Chains A and B, each alone.
Chain A
């Protein structure tokens, strides 16, 4: 979803020249991938309709599909991609981040909204929030886990994500700033990944009671 200056690079290689010693051409970063916005709008409209009409299948779809993708991506990024990224050189991290981060800017908030909004509605509809429900205490624990993840994601992860993208738009990005912000991104993604394991335990427990 990012426009790139790959043409510059490919021209150089096609002509049989060795790669230039100067800094290679970098991707031109589009911080919010505008082409993705219609997909986000469709999913949010679907979510709103599912809640508005108490559409059981829609609520289940939003909660299960959104939750599975959110958890899967969080775990994969936090526990697999993050540690690998941490060992890459700064230019390699920048190259990866330039293509990866803009997608996350749209994808993750959409998945989180789908999962949480439909989940709360489902819990209300199914009576799981009632104090008499055996799932009540599990759901409160899941609120706490989600609350911790929300603070980490909104106060640390997302600002770092956007700050990296803005830094990389500069003609001469500061490698130290990117490394510092990426470290924050990697650590916090790891923490939220681990909290997702707790969410998996809680949700499977709730579903089986």
Chain B
């Protein structure tokens, strides 16, 4: 989304407007959380996979839309976006891996494990996306040297 987008769908930071990447990311995260709660509510039984699959698919679509909007974004502090993004991505991939290992240890397998893996992957992508975008959008504007950077 560009600067010509409607006021209601853009943010203004340091005089610049950005697409609602963080808000859409929050919605995508909420869908994953709801799917996770749905599946956890059935534990230790096997949960029906339809509703959480639908939620995960909707979340993935939102993430894709977010990535497209992000690719079209101009004026974002991309250096900060990637700096924060790579470390938070590493951190959340480790977190997701730990959660995944807990499910494997608890003998989750087959369809539920595939779905959980997909949901954890989305979780590990969405959170860094929100964090790095939020940091980068407030860092956009006239460049300033950082002390001790």
Contacts and interface: CB of A to CB of B under 8 A. Distances in A.
Interface of B: 13-14, 22, 25-26, 29-30, 33-34, 36-37, 40-41, 43-45, 80, 84, 87, 95, 98-99, 101-102, 105-106, 127, 130-131, 133-135, 138-139, 144-149
Interface stretch (A60-68, A80-88, A116-124, A192-200): A116-124
A148 to B, nearest CB: 8
B147 A163 contact: no
B144 A140 contact: no
Contact of A117 (B34, B102, B131): B102
Given A140-B41, A143-B40, A147-B34, A162 B102 contact: no
Nearest to A178: B138
Interface stretch (A9-17, A69-77, A93-101, A152-160): A152-160
A109 B98 CA distance: 13
A32 B98 CA distance: 21
Given A154-B127, A159-B134, A120 B102 contact: yes
B98 to A, nearest CB: 7
Interface in A150-209: 150-151, 154-156, 158-160, 162-163, 166-167, 169-172, 174, 177, 181
Contact of B84 (A51, A117, A154, A162): A162
A28 B147 CA distance: 7
- CB-CB nearest 3 A-B residue pairs: A159-B134, A155-B26, A147-B33
B80 A174 contact: no
A166 B138 contact: yes
B113 to A, nearest CB: 16
Nearest to A155: B26
A179 B13 CA distance: 13
7 contacts: A109-B95, A124-B44, A151-B33, A163-B135, A169-B148, A177-B14, A181-B138
A180 to B, nearest CB: 9
A181 B135 CA distance: 11
Contact of A166 (B25, B43, B135): B135
B105 A51 contact: yes
A52 interface: yes
Contacts of B131: 158-159, 162
A176 B33 CA distance: 32
A145 to B, nearest CB: 10
